Structure 1
Amino acid sequence: MRTVSFGLNISIDGYCDHTIGNPSEELMDYFTGTMDDVDLLFFGRVMYQLMFPYWSDVAENQSGTAAENRFAQRFSAIDRVVVSRSLDSGDVDHTNTQIIRSNPAAELLKLKQQPGKKISVDSVSMLPELIAAGLIDEFNLVVHPVIVGKGRLLLDAGSLQEKLDLKLVNTIHFKSGCIALHYLKQ
């Protein structure tokens, strides 16, 4: 069975936003490395539209820094599934993107049971449902040294029926002050 990995940038005060920091070359290389074992990206519509076509444009035009270009090429090459009721096939960025309309937990379970590498999930809105279904095997959180005081929280109060115990298996400190935390579900 494939491993499902949830990854996200987060502020010290628990807000999730890919715009809270300006990733260093070192951090971009870390993000690229996390994609080495991934062959499927699983997004909600909002996160998908944040990431694409931005990163595919960077990959095509080589318009970022060297580290951003490496990340963009790796990230854009990975197959994707987008959970959305409103996107049409003409709204997606590439031929390697599939749209599913409902029941993300059931769809992710089917994908998890297929052969392949890791599945990377990057959707705060679906996180409680996917945790409740027991589908998230690991968490990769990058904590940025910033307090933002607003935005989307990783989990809203009351969104989980029971706690989820995790085991910290790796910590990486970056020169920028960011810390990457890798947890496994116990």
Structure 2
Amino acid sequence: MRKIILWMSVSLDGFIEGPERQIDWHLVDEELHSHANEELAAKGAFLSGRVTHELMAGFWPTADADPASPRPVAEFARIWRDMPKFVFSRTLERADWNTTVVRDVVVDEIMALKARPGADMVLSGADLAASFRRHGLIDEYRLYIHPVLIGRGKPLFTASDAKTDLRLVENRAFGNGVLLAHYAKR
């Protein structure tokens, strides 16, 4: 059965975006972007909420059209376009770029998706992750911790009664100071 991996960048103080959705504090250099491309190219699908999907769809479909685009940017544009995507939204009517709109997180439907043949799936977005976590649907956590304190914004994890025991799978420090902390459910 394929796994669902929460894949998020987070500030050291636990935020995924600033108070006005800023992500300009992300330290994505060529080393980190190339690493992400290599890992993500081997995955089987992207799972995201509407806001994340619309943000991605607003940039990545044509990000490689500019000949001046750095190699990792052009590479990821192709990965993103080709990857099957599932966007969870109650308001979105349709989505382009190999995307299926899903109305709700229904455990039986997610388990059926996990049982399909293919590679592991990547989950992004704090609100969607909270729903998946509540239902025990996240198998692994890949957190890219950026060496910055942004003070306030949207936290990755909100208060919850759900306790999840994890084991360390991998950790890695990148040259720009970003740390990968990769955990799996025990």
Find 1:146's aligned residue among 148, 153, 157: 148
Whole-Å Cα distance in 2 between the matches of residues 105 and 47 of structure 1? 21
Corresponding residue for 1:103?
Answer: 105
Whole-Å Cα distance in 1 between the matches of residues 96 and 59 of structure 2? 9
| More displaced stretch, 70-79 vs 140-149 | 70-79
SS in 1 for 2:32: helix
Whole-Å Cα distance in 2 between the matches of residues 29 and 116 of structure 1? 23
Whether the aligned pair in 2 keeps the contact of 1:105 and 1:129 (CA below 8 Å) is: no
User: Structure 2-normalised TM-score?
Assistant: 0.90
Is 2:40 the partner of 1:35?
yes
Deviation of the 1:173 alpha carbon:
0.8
Is 2:93 the partner of 1:88?
yes
Show structure 2 runs of 5+ residues with no match: 18-22
Whole-Å Cα distance in 1 between the matches of residues 167 and 38 of structure 2? 21
Residues 166-177 of structure 1: pairs in structure 2 closer than 5 A: 166-177=166-177
Whether the aligned pair in 2 keeps the contact of 1:5 and 1:140 (CA below 8 Å) is: yes
Deviation of the 1:59 alpha carbon:
3.3
Whole-Å Cα distance in 1 between the matches of residues 109 and 126 of structure 2? 17
Deviation of the 1:106 alpha carbon:
4.0
Is 2:58 the partner of 1:56?
no
Whole-Å Cα distance in 1 between the matches of residues 93 and 65 of structure 2? 23
Identity rate, percent:
29
Whole-Å Cα distance in 2 between the matches of residues 107 and 129 of structure 1? 14
Whole-Å Cα distance in 1 between the matches of residues 86 and 153 of structure 2? 25
Backbone CA RMSD of aligned residues:
1.6
Show structure 1 runs of 5+ residues with no match: none
Q: How many residues align?
A: 181
Change (3 A) 1:72 1:62: farther
The residue identity in structure 2 corresponding to 1:177 is G
SS in 1 for 2:138: coil
Deviation of the 1:125 alpha carbon:
0.3
Residues 70-89 of structure 1: pairs in structure 2 closer than 5 A: 70-89=75-94
The residue identity in structure 1 corresponding to 2:123 is V
